[in-house]
Amino acid sequence: MLNIILRDVPEVRDNLLPLTFTRSVADLRLGILTLRQKWELSLPAVYSYMTADYLSVKYPSISSPDDDSFIVSAHFFPTPGVVKGVEHLRKGQALMFHDEEIARRCPLDQQPYELIQLDEIPLRLTRSYDIFQLNAAALEYDFTLLTAGRESVAPSPSNTIIGDPSRLFIEPGATMEGAIVNLNHGPVYLAAGSEVMEGTCIRGGLALCEGAQIKMGSRIYGATTIGPHSKVGGEVANIVIIGYSNKAHDGFLGNAVIGEWCNIAAGCVASNLKNDYTEIKLWNYPTRRFQRTGLQFCGLIMGDHSKTGANTMINTATVFGVGVNFHGSGYPRNFVPSFTEGSTAAMTEVPFDKFIDTARRVMARRDVSLTQVDADIYRHLYDLTDTYR
């Protein structure tokens, strides 16, 4: 069996912060699956990671210098052309898209003897906002990958289904009652243990992952992913929640990416469009400045374990780092550094022990324990916070 190492290209990983502070690029979710899960289903192999040193205990590599390994840049989607190109690599070759390396079959410290150009434009992540920008394409890809040759559970007659019913797939154990589901704009996938409560209006595409829940009377616009064991209510449009996070009440969130163990409280509204309709600038960690995006719509990018208070207001294109707690009236700055808490009056550093205690309590509510490995990752990030302010 092939040995495939999913490598975090350092400059790409840095441009995907704050989401990659706490995970490998391969563990980012968009569509239904994470990038690693897409690769595992598209190309059977033994998979491992190559990432930042402080993440390597959680995301290990199982290769050795003598292994005949395929090193794949983790930010590329395993589309059929890319998979075929990787499979056909011989020792010493590299698969390229122009001057960007997709994969190689030789160690990183060796120069490939032959560069093979991919003859299609690949899907790939290069910025955090690519996650919601590419989510429609990712949903289509994953929906086909997961449902081909399979039969959906029949939806309850209490639901109103608009469009081609083959675009709705309900896994055994998922429940949906009294919802309106429009499939004309994208597929809808309900994973095992997920629940859509009555009165919900859904316009696809939508991925409701394992154990996730949509609350009563919600309005869901595609392309949206609600990650495992997350809860969503109110109005959302084109968002990706990686997992274990809540936006369970009224309020609006659009064109956004939310990490794990986050909470967006009741009545929180996060703008995704500037009043003057001008191009959006977004905080970029490597350059420590706001950079042009070419986008008109961009909402909140939120790192793991961050929170907003009830009735808070978030400006267009705001970035929260890891472990942020914002509350009170008024808008925070468009960039809020990791491990800070407070309001517009003042933001102060969160003591590390307080952050860890809160994280443990939050995770325990989902019967998940904070491991020492994760605590060590947070400690490393906390000690480097000044580097990323």
Which of the residue ranges 20-34, 62-76, 154-168, 169-183 would you say has the lowest mean pLDDT? 62-76
- For residues 202 and 196, give the distance between their C-alpha atoms in angstroms, rounded to a whole number: 10
- For residues 43 and 220, give the distance between their C-alpha atoms in angstroms, rounded to a whole number: 32
Q: Which pair of structure tokens corresponds to residue 212?
A: 């996730």
Q: What is the mean pLDDT of residues 182-196?
A: 98
Q: What residues form DSSP beta bridges with 100?
A: 97
- Asked whether the beta carbons of 352 and 339 are under 8 A apart, the reply is yes
Q: What is the mean pLDDT of residues 227-233?
A: 98
| 62 — pLDDT class (breaks 50, 70, 90) | confident
- For residues 283 and 316, give the distance between their C-alpha atoms in angstroms, rounded to a whole number: 12
Tell which residue, 51, 60, 44, has the closest CA to residue 25.
51
pLDDT for the residue numbered 105:
95
**What are the extents of the domains in the chain?**
3-117, 130-388
pTM (two decimals): 0.95
pLDDT for the residue numbered 66:
56
Q: What residues form DSSP beta bridges with 71?
A: 5, 104
pLDDT for the residue numbered 270:
96
Q: What angle do CA 324, 299, 268 make, to 5 degrees?
A: 60
Tell which residue, 190, 181, 176, 208, has the closest CA to residue 147.
190
Q: What is the mean pLDDT of residues 45-70?
A: 87
Has residue 191 got a pLDDT over 80?
Answer: yes
Helix 35-42 / helix 135-147 crossing angle, nearest 10 deg: 40
- Asked whether the beta carbons of 244 and 260 are under 8 A apart, the reply is yes
Which of the residue ranges 55-64, 124-133, 198-207, 245-254 would you say has the lowest mean pLDDT? 55-64
| CATH architecture, range 130-388 | 3 Solenoid (2.160)
Query: In this predicted model, what pLDDT tens digit does every residue of 155-183 receive, in sequence order?
Result: 999 999 999 999 999 999 999 999 999 99
Residue 193: in which H helix or E strand, if any? none
pLDDT for the residue numbered 386:
67
Q: Which pair of structure tokens corresponds to residue 81?
A: 């052309």
| 64 — pLDDT class (breaks 50, 70, 90) | low
The DSSP annotation for 75-141 comes to TB---HHHHHHHHTPPTTEEEEETTEEEEESS-TTS--SEEEE-SS---B--STTHHHHTHHHHHHH
pLDDT for the residue numbered 387:
63
CA 116 to chain CA centroid, nearest Å: 30
Task: Write the single-letter amino acid at 227.
Answer: G
- Asked whether the beta carbons of 187 and 136 are under 8 A apart, the reply is no
> If you average pLDDT over every residue of the chain, what do you get?
96
